[in-house]
Amino acid sequence: MTRDSLTITRFPPSPTGYLHIGRARTALFNFLFTKHYDGKMIFRLEDTDKARSKKEFEKDIVEGLDWLGITYDEGPFRQSERTKIYQTYLRAMIEKGSAYEAEDSNEGEGKVVRLKNPNTTITFTDLIRGDIVFNTTELGDFVIARNINEPLYHLAVVVDDFEMEITHVIRGEDGISNTPRQILLQEAIGASRPVYAHIPFILAPDKSKLSGRHGAVSLKEYREAGYLPEALVNYLALLGWHPTNEREIFSMEELIKEFDLSRVQKGGAVFDEEKLKSMNKIYIAKLSDDDFLRYTKKFMPDLVRRTSGYNDEKLAQMTPLIRERVHTFGEIADMAGELDYFFGAPEYNAQALVWKDDTPGIAHKHLEHIAKVLEKIPENTFTVESIKSALWDYATREGRGSVLWPMRYALSGKEKSPDPFTLAAVLGKTETLARLKTALVKLS
RNA sequence: GGCCCCAUCGUCUAACGGUUAGGACGUGACCUUCUCAAGGUCAAAAUCGGGGUUCGAUUCCCCGUGGGGUCACCA
């Protein structure tokens, strides 16, 4: 693509449903391709079906693109506001004899407009699949408008693509079968033919078409589940496309630089939420502490409420523990129960404090020692490092499990938790000693 | 059913006719401060079947099989 031939693409959803994963990826591929060639992308709403088109869906699509960071250079245009343009073309076609009105409207009023099919064989080149040949005879004189005032999909698309000087049509593979019809229309109105690229579908785990019964399909659901837009963009880009090397983590800018339609896969790709999650985790790890804290507060209002007794410093100490344990922010909400020990002394059975084959007496002895040692650490240096160095040699000498398990259990009341030094530091000296004391009482 | 598209580990994919068929997710094992998480190391795991072409096919061609799309006065 040279500079003198500006690349112009379009993203033309019909506002008849929420923006779903598949359409979002189509938008992304269009965007990446367009920006790669320094072209422009047009956003067009195909709302000629008045009965099914809704403002609510339009809003969702706009918000979804914005969230992902996909921008467009022109639009949104609405086909419902362009009927005059279609009428002009329709009249011209009828005048020229390449279309005609027919009396067989099944909705009573008016006459439908049909294309006069020249019954030719059409060959078009698909950037991803190569040459595709169709015999258009079987298409017949298909209907292109409900009446002279109401164009149907194919006509509107062809006229718009022509008027908007679209150079590349990048769409889902269901568009393949539509292409010969649209080419016939292009030839009838004297429009030039854009370059086509049909990208494969995103499939459900059972290889069937991705739909609501397979779980989340709308972009909005992923946003609400606590996925980061950068992760979704990265994952979606790799679903059906792959760079020349084995790298997998890309920012939008890097994707634009690398993206190439010739490296788009031909076969459908199964949407794997596990892989998305692992990618999201990578992006969560990249977040700054402040951003992470912000997301945590947003997705875990409950935590914020319960930490009212804590200062931000304590909350900041807890966030790394949360960060390394979640793949999405939605999971943070599920973690609330696991973090109970941060908000109040745990309930547990004394026997649980005892490590493996130890006796309660041994556990008591260790806890007593731990309490004595921690007592000596000043409040203002009660950190993970100082706690650990004060106890480490003792634990190693006496057996780490034998010492650390009772300590950790006394502080958390759970079989699984972060390490005891971290727990102690987050809880603070006073609370830590109180819990150790409670454990000692239980054991005696 | 007609027409069209597609086919490498479970999944996403790499390999412009010659590789021990590579990577990632997931899975399993082991290591790393008791548990968990994180991290590290290792392992198992694929060219749909059959014919060609070729010295040599994942790669090119044909047939079959399987999957998908489309055949609206929806988009």
Q: How far apart are CA A212 and CA A214, in angstroms?
A: 5
- Which residue, among A139, A138, A157, A145, has the nearest Cα to A42 in the 3D structure? A157
SS3 string, A314-370, reads: HHHHHHHHHHCCCCCCHHHHHHHHHHHHHCCCCCCCHHHHCCCCCCHHHHHHHHHHH
In a domain, A265, yes or no: yes
* Whether residue A216 is found in the same domain as residue A240: yes
Are A269 and A239 spatial neighbours (Cβ–Cβ below 8 Å)?
yes
Q: Is the CB of A22 under 7 A from strand B?
A: no
Residues 245-264 of chain A in contact with strand B via CB under 7 angstroms: 246, 248, 263
Task: Please indicate, yes or no, if residue A41 is contained in any of the structural domains.
Answer: no
- Please give residues of chain A from 411 to 440 whose alpha-adjacent beta carbon (CB) lies under 7 Å from any atom of strand B: 415-421
Q: Is A324 part of any domain? A: yes
Task: Please give the mean pLDDT across all residues of chain A.
Answer: 90
| Residue A21 · residue A219 · CB < 8 Å | yes
- Residue A118 falls within a domain, yes or no? no
Angle of the A400-412 helix axis to the A429-443 helix axis, nearest 10: 110
Q: What is the DSSP string of A143-163?
A: EEEEETTEE-HHHHHHHHHHH
Rg for chain A (alpha carbons), in Å? 32
A78 touches strand B (CB under 7 A): no
> In terms of Cα–Cα distance, which of A268, A122, A293, A260 is closest to A207?
A268
Query: pLDDT band at residue A373, thresholds of 50, 70 and 90?
Result: very high
Within 10 angstroms of residue A324's Cβ, the number of other Cβ atoms is 11
The residue from A240, A256, A282 where one domain ends is: A282
A389 and A314 fall within a common domain = no
**What Å value separates CA A148 and C1' B37?**
65
User: Total structural domains in chain A?
Assistant: 3
Q: Is residue A42 part of a domain?
A: no
Residue ranges making up the domain that contains A249: 212-282
Reference A423, options A435, A440, A439, A438; nearest CA is: A435
pLDDT of residue A222: 95
ipTM value: 0.95
pTM for this prediction: 0.92
Higher pLDDT, A309 or A89: A89
A267: which DSSP letter? S
Helix (H) or strand (E) holding A172: strand A168-172
Q: Which amino acid is at A161?
A: D
Could you tell me if A337 and A267 lie in one domain?
Answer: no
Are residues A433 and A380 part of one domain?
yes
Does A389 fall in a domain?
Answer: yes
The pLDDT tens digits for A188-229 are 999 999 999 999 999 998 888 776 666 678 999 999 999 999
Q: Are residues A302 and A383 in the same domain?
A: no
**Residue A434 lies inside a defined structural domain of this protein:** yes
Q: Which of these ranges, A110-124, A266-280, A332-346, A350-364, has the smallest mean pLDDT?
A: A332-346
Question: The tokens of A303 are what?
Answer: 């935590």
Looking at residue A386, which CATH number applies to its domain?
A: 1.10.10.350
What is residue A3's predicted lDDT score, i.e. its pLDDT?
A: 46
Residue A347 Cβ under 7 A from any strand B atom: no
